[in-house]
Amino acid sequence: MKLIFEKSVKGRDGYSLPQYLFDDIKIEECLPEYAIDKSKKLLSEVSEVDVVRHFTKLSKLNYGLDDGIYPLGSCTMKYNPKINEKLASLSNFIYAHPLAPEETTQGCLEIAYDLDKLLCEITGMDKYTMAPAAGAHGELAGILIMRKYFVDRGDIRHKMIIPDSAHGTNPASAAMGGFQVVEVKSNEKGTVDLKELAELMDEDTVGLMLTNPNTVGLYDEGIEEIEKIVHGKGGLLYYDGANLNASLGISRPGDAGFDVVHLNLHKTFSTPHGGGGPGAGVIGVKKNLIPYLPTPNVSEVL
């Protein structure tokens, strides 16, 4: 199937307005300089019916939960209630421009602020950022937070411990964050081998990334001992929320001693996830890591 750009024919318009309407309008007076694309790149020149047919055909190639089961690896793809999809599609949200001034977007900002507070209560963390656009994106953000924390302390560490039952993106994210990945094996129960973890955890290790429950569906009952081992060497505990659905409302990562948490709102909650994306990989941290969250963050000004 051709790309929409490959269907472009010079002079074929989908919609046009009389030029005289714009004779007295100077774009430089309407927009700040950073918002103007001076490269003069042109969009595809296609008719309206071509656009409709192109994207309708694409939609028929797509496969989603409305068609059947979604067997996408360890991702907990599930059915979102249609009322939630409807709310997420309200024009007040989807047409809000990212560069709109704060005074015109107070409703959206309040929702982000309230979501931060709710997620903190649900997971036992102190502050969230909504910046990461996907789970793996959130992972990398969390790892960079950990790295910066140690750099500022003058404590340069090089290794990250990851269980063999971890979510598959963990080792990739740790490597992208500049760390050497060290694997800790599972015991006969399928959870982290505490003896091996104690041997691997040293003062050159930034911490442990743990998916709990893990990818074989087991909740690691040794989490209290894991927390003691990692924090005992000055490390940080990172929680991958890929399988949080299983323990939601029963236990909170923050109460178990995790310092950084990433949640997949498209898995655990109901952020729309059509076509495999977009996602939402929010990051939560404890108080000592709040200064390292990506900016800007939404806060209340009294």
pLDDT tens digits, 128-180: 999 998 888 899 999 999 999 999 999 999 999 999 988 888 999 999 999 99
Burial class (CB in 10 A: 0-12, 13-18, 19+), 225: middle
- Under the banding of pLDDT at 50, 70 and 90, the label for residue 62 is confident
Domains of the chain are 4-61 (no CATH), 102-292 (3.40.640.10)
Q: Give the H or E element holding residue 236.
A: strand 236-240
Task: Copy the structure tokens of residue 4.
Answer: 């929409």
Q: Give the H or E element holding residue 196.
A: helix 194-200
Query: How many Cα atoms occupy the beta-carbon half-sphere of 35 within 13 Å?
Result: 10
Place of tokens 């059947």: 68
Q: Mean per-residue pLDDT for 34-49?
A: 84
Q: What pLDDT sits at residue 77?
A: 64
Task: Copy the structure tokens of residue 140.
Answer: 């990398």
Checking if the pLDDT of 25 tops 70, the result is yes
Q: What percent of the chain has pLDDT over 90?
A: 55
- Under the banding of pLDDT at 50, 70 and 90, the label for residue 275 is low
- Tens of pLDDT, residue by residue over 209-260, are 999 988 888 899 999 999 999 999 999 999 999 888 888 899 999 999 999 9
Q: Reduce the DSSP state of residue 197 to 3 states and report it.
A: helix
Checking if the pLDDT of 208 tops 90, the result is yes
What are the distances in angstroms from CA 180 to CA 48, 168, 237? Answer: 52, 16, 16
Specify whether the backbone of 214 is left (phi greater than 0), alpha (psi in -120 to 50) or beta.
beta
Lowest-pLDDT range, 69-73, 175-179, 217-221, 293-297?
69-73
Checking if the pLDDT of 125 tops 80, the result is yes
CA distance linking residue 133 with residue 7, whole number of Å: 30
